[in-house]
Amino acid sequence: MFFTAVLIAAFGIVSLLMDEDVVVTPGLGQVPGVIAVAASLVAVAVTIWARMPARGIWATLGWVALAAFLGYLAGLGVASVFASTDVVLALAAVGRAATTWPGLVVVSAAIRGAAMALAVARGAGENARWPWERDDDE
């Protein structure tokens, strides 16, 4: 899905520019980050699917951003508890992700991914045409 590609690319670019890992809590490894991205992807997909019949795009984008953010934090928290067996480390990882740049990157990627998905899905029945390409008899 486009969201996952944008999220992983954005994490890599921001991490490189800031010279900082996405999950800096010691002893967790990479698995909590992978699980968090997967949980966020599931939250985005379910929210887009549920909101597809709704009219308008702005409310849908807001719900998708919220679902992605909460899905990321939930996935990170649960995976961190299992990876470290220490609730304090898990809370530290979730708190840092919620209050620093990883949370902002998740929300930004979710909005971009959902906007593209909605544009493709809702416009699938029509092809874009310039005004001079229409078959109007004027």
DSSP string, 47-108: HHHHHTTSS-SHHHHHHHHHHHHHHHHHHHHHHHHHHHS-HHHHHHHHHHHHHSHHHHHHHH
| Residue 46 in domain | yes
Nearest to 59 by CA among 51, 67, 50: 51
Instruction: Please compute the mean of the pLDDT values over residues 11-28 and round it to a whole number.
Output: 91
| Residue 114 in domain | yes
| Residue 138 in domain | no
pLDDT in tens, 53-106: 888 899 999 999 999 999 999 999 999 999 988 899 999 999 999 999 999 999
| Residue 132 in domain | no
Instruction: Please compute the mean of the pLDDT values over residues 7-35 and round it to a whole number.
Output: 92
**Residue 128 buriedness (CB in 10 A; 0-12 / 13-18 / 19+):** exposed
Residue 16 pLDDT exceeds 90:
yes
The confidence score (pLDDT) of residue 27 equals 84
| Residue 131 in domain | no
The confidence score (pLDDT) of residue 103 equals 95
DSSP letter for 132, please: G
The confidence score (pLDDT) of residue 25 equals 86
| Residue 75 in domain | yes
The confidence score (pLDDT) of residue 126 equals 67
Q: For residue 23, what are the domain limits? A: 2-118
| Residue 64 in domain | yes
pLDDT in tens, 105-137: 999 999 999 999 988 887 766 666 777 776 665
The confidence score (pLDDT) of residue 128 equals 66
Distance, in Å, from the CA atom of 85 to the CA atom of 14, rounded to the nearest integer, reads: 29
Residue 34 pLDDT exceeds 90:
yes
Q: What's the number of domains the chain is made of?
A: 1
